[in-house]
Structure 1
Amino acid sequence: MQSDPFTVQRLRGGYAIVWQDAEGKRRRHALSATDRIGAEAEARQRWRLGNRSARTVGDIVEAYLADRRAEGIVTANRQSDAWKAMRDYWAAVSPNLIDKEMARGYAARRRAAPATVRYELSMLSVALRWAKDEKLIDNAPEIWRPSPPERRKRHLSHAEFEKFFAAVKAPHARLYVLLGLYTMARPAALLDLTWDRVNWQKGTIDLNPEGRVQTAKRRADALPLNEEALDALKEAWRARQSEYVIERGGKRIANVKKLFQAASERCGFHVTAYMLRHTGAVWAAEAGAPMTELAQFMGHEDSRTTERHYARFTPGHLRGVASRIQRRAGGQGSIEPWGTVQTG
């Protein structure tokens, strides 16, 4: 746990906040509180508010991330990684100086995908609004962001999958792709999977390790596997070199982005790890899987989420409505000529 950048010390019968300035000189300021607990609370508040005009983007984002981590928010790690890429450009900037040209300059310098730049600048915008709400700064500037990228195809056809799978070469990569398709599990769940959570007798895997707290991205405890997935697992079990199911040379695989990039280049179209999850769901829906069962398989708490994304792929989707739209032979009643009104 990171310690406070100040201390609370006794001063003339009371208390003071003591710190070192940027030049390393010792500074102190008397506090009004008369007891230790009150003095520490007052010191934290004084330090947090500080000199608003002197706060940099770096000060604000670091404070924002610390607050997110303290709250146990699961996206804090992703935001911390984003900040590492942003820090050199933004850390010393005053929030008051941020304008559209500065944000555009960051995008040009970053040379990353528009979606990545948009995420990073969105995080910066959220951090600045948080700082305003926390009264760390007086105003939060508007942050320019690139337009959202065009929505890519979310799933593969059977033919597309076979072409992509033929381009996947390494054994651990082929195992991951099969499990990703047949379990519809999120990448983190599969990369965390260890052999002790494979139940050979029941033909299931446990994606939720002991001690993990279920989040909004739920993981199934006993997910059944089909025969092809089980056969692939058995082959990998015989050649295993570590406790992790997805491993290479005895080392756990931390990320599969490069795997998918390489195979995508070989097959000629873009595929991501998450597309396997959506592909499995679409294929199951097309085969008539009930939405309630599909929701449970995918780890959705509410089947309405599943229906919103996948019900349109089911064979009978809206067919009940279509079947109720029928012509009636001969019609009903009579149609009068224009200008004629039939009265009772």
Structure 2
Amino acid sequence: MARYSKKLFQCGDFWLSQRERSPAWYRTSYDAKARRTVRVSLGTESLERAKEALTEWYLLNRKPVDEKPQDAILADVLRRYYTEHGSKSRSKDQARVGVNHWLDFWETATVAELRDVKRQEEFHAYLFKRKLTPSSVNRIIGVGKSALNRAWKRGELQQPPYIARVKEKAAAPRGRPMTVEELQQLYHHASPHLKTFIRWMLGTAARPEAIVTLDSSQVSWTSRTIKLNPDGRVETKKRRPVIRLPEPLHKERFEGLLVKYKGEAVGSIKTAWNAARERAGLDEACKPYSLRHTASKWMRKHGVSMDEVGQQLGHREKGVAVTAIYTADDPAYLRKAAKALGALVVEATKPPKVVATHLRATKKKVAELPAP
């Protein structure tokens, strides 16, 4: 009978082993009831890959129940969070970076060790030494906090400890409001898929990501409503409400994703936006979020109430979530907001006056030339 190597790398009751004269790695454990060793091939000859495979399998198959903080290994909580959730989210890169920072600093610490506020402050100092901004540090802290809260909500961990954040200055607005003339210039210089993005941003006052990922399944052409939060997406504190479809957008029926470039999904419109902004001669404070701010100010300027503007923007107000359920049955729901935003779409997509004036001057000069 072939013999196996000693325990070189171990996760809980499972460890890596190799058969003599064989480079393949096995996930190994001892079955006490059957009184025998159980081995499962990991399909690799690389020790590092075998470690990763064993760790991933262990985290996915080990389901702790109401584990005490002093017994819970923080690294297990973090890795389980990334494997089951973070790696599948749109912000997976941010989750990966955040988890790695936590693992590098806390190493083999238990969850209970997070109760030491001084130790948390040392973690903050460790992050600042890497020349990260306060907002970046808080995003990394947020990843660990999300991992702990997720484990608690799923019954894997008892009440998670308090996690301190660092102070940061009030965030600057994510893009200044724009004038109608600036919108016209931007739209005139935009590529086709960016023009679609601009129209639907102005017509909905939604957040940029909601429009970039908008699918036709979220639009009801009969009831003229848009469900900005798609089925299956967990609602966050930044609510994506059900809103009314303005008339100009109701004419733009589409199938599948709304914003496409050469028939493919668009992960980001930043490149197209910056190119159009530069061609239009606009400053860097004009950002995709500027469209949301512009739509908000436009609605107030055109008599839409603060309550209705808040509902359109998805601001958390008592009763809003309940009201949104009945949008399809209430023709008055967000009617004024939709009418105002529809007018904004029409104005923003008109030819810019500067270009029109330039064309008229050019024609006049041509007409004044002497006949050949």
TM-score range, shorter chain: 0.5 to 0.7
Q: Secondary structure at the match of 1:206?
A: strand
- Find the counterpart in structure 2 of residue 286 from structure 1: 301
Structure 1 unaligned regions, length at least 5? 1-17, 31-42, 306-344
Distance change in 2, residues 1:117/1:260 (3 Å): farther
How many angstroms does 1:150 deviate by?
A: 3.7
**Which amino acid is the alignment partner of residue 152 of structure 1?**
P
Q: CA deviation at 1:193?
A: 3.4
Q: Deviations over 1:143-164 (max 9, x none)?
A: 5636245432664041684387
Give the match for residue 102 of structure 2: 90
SS of 1:289's equivalent? coil
Q: Which whole-Å CA distance do the structure 1 matches of 2:163 and 2:217 have between them? A: 50
CA distance in 2, matches of 1:194, 1:126: 28
Please, which of 281, 285, 291 is the counterpart of residue 276 of structure 1? 291
Q: Does the C-alpha gap of structure 1 residues 103 and 21 become closer, same or farther in structure 2, counting only changes over 3 Å? A: farther
> Aligned to 1:245, which of 243, 246, 258?
258
Match of 1:181 in 2: 202
SS in 1 for 2:206: coil
In the alignment, which residue of structure 1 is the partner of 2:246? 224
CA contact (8 A) 2:152 2:159 kept: yes
Deviation (angstroms), 1:180: 0.6
Partner of 1:38: none
Q: Give me the TM-score of the superposition, normalised by structure 2.
A: 0.51
**Structure 1 residue 171: deviation in Å?**
1.6
Structure 2 unaligned residues grouped into runs of 5+: 1-11, 18-26, 34-61, 321-372
1:195–1:243 contact (8 Å) kept in structure 2: yes
The equivalent of 2:143 in structure 1 is 123
Q: Could you tell me how far 1:80 is from its partner in structure 2?
A: 4.7
Amino acid across the alignment from 2:138: R
Kindly state the Cα deviation for residue 284 of structure 1 after the two structures are TM-superposed: 0.8
Question: Considering only aligned residues, what root-mean-square deviation do their CA atoms show, in Å?
Answer: 4.9
| Contact 1:189–1:219 (Cα < 8 Å) also in 2 | no
* Alignment CA distance shift 1:148-1:61 (3 Å): farther
Q: Is the contact between residue 175 and residue 290 of structure 2 (CA under 8 Å) also seen in structure 1?
A: yes
Alignment partner, residue 9 of structure 1: none
Q: Is it true that 1:20 corresponds to 2:14 in the alignment?
A: yes
Scaled by the length of structure 1, the TM-score of the pair is 0.54
Q: Which moved more, 1:120-129 or 1:190-199?
A: 190-199
Aligned counterparts, 1:138-287, within 5 A: 140=161, 143=164, 145=166, 147-152=168-173, 155-158=176-179, 161-162=182-183, 165=186, 169-194=190-215, 204=224, 206-207=226-227, 211=231, 215=235, 217-220=239-242, 222-226=244-248, 233=252, 243-262=256-275, 267-287=282-302
Contact 2:191 2:276 in 1 (8 A): no
Measured after TM superposition, the shift of residue 83 of structure 1 is 2.0
Identity, % of aligned positions: 18
What are the Cα deviations for residues 61-107 of structure 1, in whole angstroms up to 9, with x where unaligned? 2345678x5xxxx9x93665422122333325244495434433334
SS, match of residue 173 in structure 2: coil
- Deviation (angstroms), 1:215: 4.0
SS of residue matched to 2:242: coil
Paired residue secondary structure (1:245): coil
Aligned twin of 1:313: none
Counterpart amino acid of 2:71?
Answer: R
- Judging changes above 3 Å, is the alpha-carbon distance between structure 1 residues 180 and 106 closer, same or farther for their aligned structure 2 residues? same
Matched, 1:61 2:78: yes
> Is contact 1:264-1:270 (8 Å) kept?
no
Matched, 1:103 2:97: no
Shift of 1:289: 1.4
Q: Which has the higher contact order (CA 8 A, sep 6+)?
A: 2
Cα distance in 2 between the residues matched to 1:169 and 1:162: 10
The Cα shift of 1:286 comes to 1.5
- Residue 246 of structure 2 aligns with an amino acid whose one-letter code is P
Task: Give the total of aligned pairs.
Answer: 257
Q: Aligned with 1:52: secondary structure?
A: coil
Distance 1:293 1:147, change over 3 A: closer
Q: State whether residues 186 and 277 of structure 2, in contact with CA within 8 Å, keep that contact through their aligned partners in structure 1.
A: no
Kept after mapping to 1: 8 A contact 2:14/2:29: yes
Over residues 97-120 of structure 1, what are the superposed CA-to-partner deviations in whole Å (9 max), with x where a residue is unaligned?
A: 9543443333453x6664343222
